[in-house]
Amino acid sequence: MRVSDEELAEIPGLARCETRSMAEIVEQAKKATKDSYPHEEVYGDFCTLHTYIDCPPRDVFDYLADVHSQEEYTFSVRGLQPVDDTGLHVGWDRVDEMTRIFLRIESNPDAMTIDYHAAWDQGEDLWMIYLFRVLPAELVLKKPGSVVMMTNCHHPYYAENPYPEKSPGPDRVWVGELWRYFNAGHRIEMDNTKAILEHRHRNGIPIVPGVVR
């Protein structure tokens, strides 16, 4: 126990067994558990998708950490080329005919996190961040394979394009206008990822195929 009991007593609103009964806490949790939840409550500020994939976690990690995998599993990112030797790449986001997407992947093989730092139109300020983590399903679901999680946070630039002068045209849809559809839209790409990885794993096809430049 820490030297903190007096200090904790000063913080308003804490729910701890020293001051609230188990029955009260359970009652509070039951009241907050509903049959359904509004879209805004679940996907308003943060959007996390989860999926199970029948493919070993290290393979799934390697796949997601390879920049060219996006040219397979995304609906729209194509033609990625390195911009420099820092890992920054540029490609096309076929959501729009003329939109360039810049991105850099930062991954951690120990924690199996893979972070995509991306942006439309410019590569200096990579503010669109897709945070992936791969979990061994053996650990969390007691079965072979992987769980993949992917999170987006509602960065203020989704609400307003910070660099409108870099847009290929004034009528181009802004990515943030699609925020409401992020869960459903990325579900399509998560399903693509699952289908590709399970197909390769099942058929003994290399998980990360060679790249033709």
Q: Which of residues 152-191 bind a second copy (CB under 8 A)?
A: 153-157, 178, 180-181, 183-185, 187-189, 191
x/- letters, 74..113, toward a second copy (CB under 8 A): xxx-xx--------------xx------------x-xx-x
Tell me how far apart the alpha carbons of residues 161 and 155 are, in angstroms, rounded to a whole number: 11
Among 72, 88, 122, 161, binds a second copy (CB under 8 A): 72
Q: What is the biggest distance separating any 2 CA atoms in the chain, rounded to whole angstroms?
A: 64
Tell me how far apart the alpha carbons of residues 74 and 173 are, in angstroms, rounded to a whole number: 18
- In whole angstroms, how close is the CB of 178 to a second copy at the nearest point? 8
Length of the chain, please? Answer: 213
Q: Quickly list DSSP for 143-194.
A: SSSEEEEEEEE--HHHHS-S-GGGSS-TTPPPGGGGGGGHHHHHHHHHHHHH
| Choices 57-65, 82-90, 133-141, 164-172; region in contact with a second copy by CB under 8 A | 133-141
Among 54, 83, 90, 127, binds a second copy (CB under 8 A): 127
Site for a second copy in 37-66 (CB under 8 A): 37-39, 42, 45-46, 48, 50, 52
Dihedral sign (CA 146, 44, 160, 182) = positive
Residue 88 CB partners (closer than 8 Å, separation 6+): 82, 102, 103, 104, 123
Among 23, 33, 160, 204, binds a second copy (CB under 8 A): 33
- In whole angstroms, how close is the CB of 17 to a second copy at the nearest point? 4
Q: Which is nearer to a second copy, 15 or 98 (CB)?
A: 15
- In whole angstroms, how close is the CB of 42 to a second copy at the nearest point? 6
Cβ 154 vs Cβ 44: under 8 Å: yes
Q: Which is nearer to a second copy, 109 or 164 (CB)?
A: 109
Q: Which is nearer to a second copy, 2 or 165 (CB)?
A: 2
Does 30 engage in binding with a second copy (CB under 8 A)?
Answer: yes
Tell me how far apart the alpha carbons of residues 86 and 5 are, in angstroms, rounded to a whole number: 49
CA-CA-CA-CA dihedral for 196, 197, 201, 202, to nearest 10: -50
Could you tell me how many residues of this chain bind a second copy (CB under 8 A)? 86
